[in-house]
Amino acid sequence: MRWLRSVGLLGILAIAGCSGGGTSSGGGGGFSNSGNNNNNGSSPPAPTLTTLNFSVPLFNSTKQATLIRRNMPNSETGSSNTIISTSANKADLNETPGRDLPPEIIARQLAELNEPSTRNRALIQPRFQDLTDFNFFIATNNQTVTCRKVLANNQTQHCTIFAQVVGNTPIVSETIAQQIADTWDAPISGIYAKDRDVFGSEWTNGGGRDGDDKVVLVFLNNTGVGGSQYFGFTSPADVGTGPSSNQGEILYINFDKFGADGFDVYSTLAHEFQHLIALNTKLVRQGNFGGQIENSAIDEGKAVLAEELAGYGLESPLGGNSFTFQACRAFLLNPDAQGLFQFNGNLDSYGRDYVFMRYLLDQKGLADFRNYAQSSGTGLAQLNASFGSMSNLFTDWTNALLASPLNGSVPSNLRFTGPFNPGRTYSIRTAGGGTQMQLMPTVTPGQTVTPPQGTQTVNLGAWAFSTVLYKNGTGNTLNVQVQGLSTQGASMVVENPTGTFGGVQ
């Protein structure tokens, strides 16, 4: 969509200081366990803290260093209290975007899948392509909307198009419907082919829930879709037979967003179709219902990536995707708002996981990414299974967010090589139909310490990170000490001079 169990409180203590001497130390990543955890009483032992050290000699006004603090537990949820302390740098001898349904509606629909059937199958009909009119239940407003099939069966290959009826006339003309069908159906380059090539297949066995081998595309106006804030959504209940189900493989799209060239409608179709595919790959499994739903944040990251892979990303010939740009911008301006496996429907939720998925594709290549996306596993467990160590991946990704925009010899594993890169300028589509050059920000530091001194504290959720930027040093050595648990980690990206990659510790 374009939208915890808890673990114990964890703590990181980082003490940074600057002295006249010293050598570089510490390697970043995670902490190693040390200390005695013996428990001779009934109370659990206190967590054992271990230490990472970072050091930048001759830290003056021409250099910058960014400390990245991470919380990487074994589960997708939890919270962490992280404390960073740094001494003075001196000689010291001693908007909600409207892609998809709100999370609360999705939760309600998923719960409905476990309830007995309450909607008569005969009222649904086995195949949408055999119908003329149909009253679709719309989950966003709990209303039914009458829609009419616009094209004949022989005019489409992989879709059946319905449009809301207003004044006894469908809101989508046959000419525009054919344009949409051609964009969806085109071999190799069409939205249907592009999404399925990378992410897998929707429920097709036996024609899916409705016995129809075509995906149903339902076009509604602002009122019918539940409000102008919605671009479109999938309805998980549709794979079941409960009261909210229209019983089919269906995408709901706001046709009022079509504009002059349909860009926002086509990008939303690619986005929502990925959700429909993931619903089958992860949960439905061609009608066996033997799986579980994908983590919502991960699912959204793949859906935004699907827009890009279908040709509606940041670098489209007619102007880049404004939604994707704004989502990435929101994430980079507020990177520590949530963890990688959390999703609340805000713009940064989409941006965070899209950027992570883009990094996976850049680093692992299409074949490995395809295998991951089409796997039946979900969330953190599948990332570990597909790529070996999510902790290592998360460490490299967060380092790349800081290092990739820099000049100099940045290691390949710390580079974004696709369309996305912090600090780049993009030609982005505007609401008026034109384009505007817009600068993608770099990661906004959680805290800036200038000159390096004092104590900084931050609370980090599971699989979240935060940064401290040190700048305007006195010329003496910057020393940073970080103490924390084995599931927490830290690294430091150095710029020497500012704007040029000077190494990562």
- Is the same domain home to 77 and 146? no
3-state secondary structure (DSSP) of residue 424: coil
Distances 56 to 19, 26, 149, 285, 296 between C-alpha atoms, Å:
10, 11, 67, 53, 40
Task: Give mean pLDDT, residues 53-77.
Answer: 87
Same domain, residue pair 68 and 207: no
User: What's the pLDDT score for residue 91?
Assistant: 40
3-state SS class at 206? helix
Whether residue 317 is preceded by a cis peptide bond, meaning omega within 30 degrees of 0, is no
Choose one of 240, 267, 288: the last residue of a domain: 288
For residues 81 and 146, state if they share a domain. Answer: no
Domain membership flag for residue 318 = no
Task: Let me know if residue 485 belongs to a domain.
Answer: yes
Burial class (CB in 10 A: 0-12, 13-18, 19+), 302: buried
pTM for the predicted model, two decimal places = 0.88
What is the extent of the structural domain holding 493?
Answer: 10-35+45-94+450-504
Between CA 69 and CA 395 the distance in angstroms is 10
Give the 3-state DSSP-derived string for 115-141, with helices as H, strands as E and coil as C.
CCCCCCHHHHCCCHHHCCEEEEEECCC
The verdict on 49 and 172 lying in the same domain is no
Beta bridge partners of 493: 66, 504
Q: Are strands 64-71 and 488-495 parallel, antiparallel or unpaired?
A: antiparallel
Calculate the CA 105 to chain-centre distance: 19
For residue 344, tell me if it sits in a domain: no
**Is the same domain home to 151 and 262?**
yes
Answer with the residue of higher pLDDT: 127 or 379: 379
User: Residue 67's closest CA among 48, 88, 52, 50?
Assistant: 52
β-pairing verdict for 447-449 and 464-471: parallel
Q: Is the pLDDT of residue 250 over 70?
A: yes
Mark whether 67 and 188 lie in a shared domain.
Answer: no
Domain termination site, one of 230, 261, 288: 288
How many alpha carbons lie under 13 Å from residue 435 in its C-beta half-sphere?
16
**Token pair of 314 as six digits:** 């940041």
DSSP string over 73-120? -SSS--EEEEEEEEEEES--------BS--HHHHHHHHHHTTSPP-S-
Range in 74-78, 193-197, 273-277, 446-450 with the lowest mean pLDDT: 74-78
Q: What is the mean pLDDT of the chain?
A: 86
pLDDT of residue 13: 42
Q: Are residues 123 and 268 in the same domain?
A: yes
Chain Cα centroid distance, residue 176: 31
Does 135 lie in the same domain as 89? no
User: pLDDT-derived band of residue 90, with 50, 70 and 90 as boundaries?
Assistant: very low
pLDDT digits (tens, 9 = 90+) for 121-157: 445 555 898 899 999 999 999 999 999 999 999 999 9
**pLDDT tens digits, 279-330:** 999 999 999 999 999 999 999 999 999 999 999 999 999 899 999 999 999 9
194 and 135 share one domain = yes
Q: Does 416 fall in a domain?
A: no
What CATH code is carried by the domain that includes residue 28? 2.60.120
- CA 279/CA 477 separation, integer angstroms: 53
Paired tokens of 475: 């010329």
Three-state DSSP state, 416: coil
What is the tally of structural domains in the chain? 2
In this predicted structure, which of 22-31, 94-103, 191-200, 306-315 has the lowest mean pLDDT?
22-31
**pLDDT tier for residue 456 given thresholds of 50, 70 and 90:** confident
Question: Same domain, yes or no, for 74 and 161?
Answer: no
pLDDT at 337 over 80: yes
204 and 78 co-located in one domain: no
In a domain, 25, yes or no: yes
Task: Assess whether 132 and 195 both reside in one domain.
Answer: yes
Of the candidates 492, 491, 494, 489, the one whose C-alpha atom is nearest the C-alpha of residue 460 is: 489
- Greater confidence (400 vs 39) lies with 400
Residue 418 belongs to a domain: no
Q: Which of 259, 288, 317 is the last residue of a domain?
A: 288
In a domain, 297, yes or no: no
Instruction: Please answer whether residues 316 and 308 qualify as being in contact, where contact means their C-beta atoms are separated by less than 8 angstroms.
Output: no
Local confidence band at 246 (pLDDT 50, 70, 90 cut-offs): very high
pLDDT for 70:
87
Could you tell me if residue 342 is inside a domain? no
